[in-house]
Amino acid sequence: MEGIALFGAGSWGTALADLLAKKGISVCLWSRNPEAARAINVTGHNMRYLREHRLHSGVYATSSLEEAAAFSKLWVSAVPTQAVRETLRLLRPLAGDDILLCNAAKGIEIETGLRISQIADEELPGLSYSVISGPSHAEEVIVEQPTAVVVASSKEEVASMWQEVFGCFYFRVYTSVDVTGVELGGAVKNVIAIASGIARSMGLGDNTLAALVCRGLAEIMRLGAKMGANPLTLAGLAGVGDLVVTCYSTHSRNLRLGMCVGEGMSLEEAQAELGQVAEGAYTVIPIVERGRAMGVDLPIAKAVRDILYGGITPKVAMEELLLREMKPELPPQMLWSQ
């Protein structure tokens, strides 16, 4: 099989590079940090992310965007969401019409409220785009823990191609044509995970966490249906699956950020303590704004935004959520679609 150019040497990019190399696929892993790339090639370890794991010898790292882009026509992007536009813009002069791009990041661009597929349409118009998402902590994938994800493309044959690229005995890949649903599920679940972390730090129990997850899913499905996603996608790996793992696992950066905030840290202090990007802290702003503009009720997301940016305490936010008007569990709006 043709090699892979993989952009982004964070924890997820590193785990995916190792997975592909174990399959016998040559991987050129791009890192914007020259020292990190050098260390991977010399030691076999990414010294910042997953540093205890030696990477397969089939992973070659570079800090040259041109070198990585020329390595293969199959591009995988695992750069953080807020850096996607800049990276794709730099790649534009290096991208031919035959490039196939698969995005592995989850989130919404904070300045525009756009999903990554929409950013790709603007920066690399006409390029084949796919997205891979689901409950997939890098820390577990790199040690070959059984994992199931979904890859979506508007073209079934392209999704099937990426399914073959990524799939192996411990990494099961399903296909979908619902790019909107897969992207939205992967983005909004991070916001709900922050709420879950805040609730945990408040000493709230399993009843509360289960309610947060279920009502968080209701928010994701309402917004998704309004934006044209298939609600069944959000009942699958990219929705329920990713939501559960992110709200309950301590591998989750968004959960840990919520716990820090719930313990009294400011957002800035929590981010410094975490030392990694928690996309939910960025995603919550455009998600709440999109919900407001589309007339979709997102009370949990709004509470997270108000805690992170509005100075509202977790206790007050919880009381406001519980004192909201009583309503049916499944309103007709859940089935909205374009």
Q: Spell out the per-residue pLDDT of the chain, length 338, in tens.
A: 679 999 999 999 999 999 999 999 999 999 999 999 999 999 999 998 998 999 999 999 999 999 999 999 999 999 999 999 999 999 999 998 899 999 999 989 988 989 999 999 999 999 999 999 999 999 999 999 999 999 999 999 999 999 999 999 999 999 999 999 999 999 999 999 999 999 999 999 899 999 999 999 999 999 998 999 998 999 999 999 999 999 998 888 899 999 999 999 998 888 888 777 778 888 899 999 999 999 999 999 999 999 999 989 999 998 888 888 888 887 666 555 54
| pLDDT (0 to 100) of residue 338 | 46
In the chain, where are the structural domains located? Answer: 4-177, 180-335
Q: Which fold has domain 180-335?
A: N-(1-d-carboxylethyl)-l-norvaline Dehydrogenase; domain 2 (1.10.1040)
189 assigned to active site = yes
Return the pLDDT at 29.
Answer: 98
Alpha helix positions (H), 124-275 = 138-141, 156-166, 179-201, 206-226, 231-234, 242-248, 253-262, 267-274
The catalytically annotated residue of 106, 189, 226, 302 is: 189
Q: What is the CATH number of domain 4-177?
A: 3.40.50.720
Q: What are phi and psi of 256, to 5 degrees?
A: -65, -35
Q: What is the pLDDT of residue 17?
A: 98
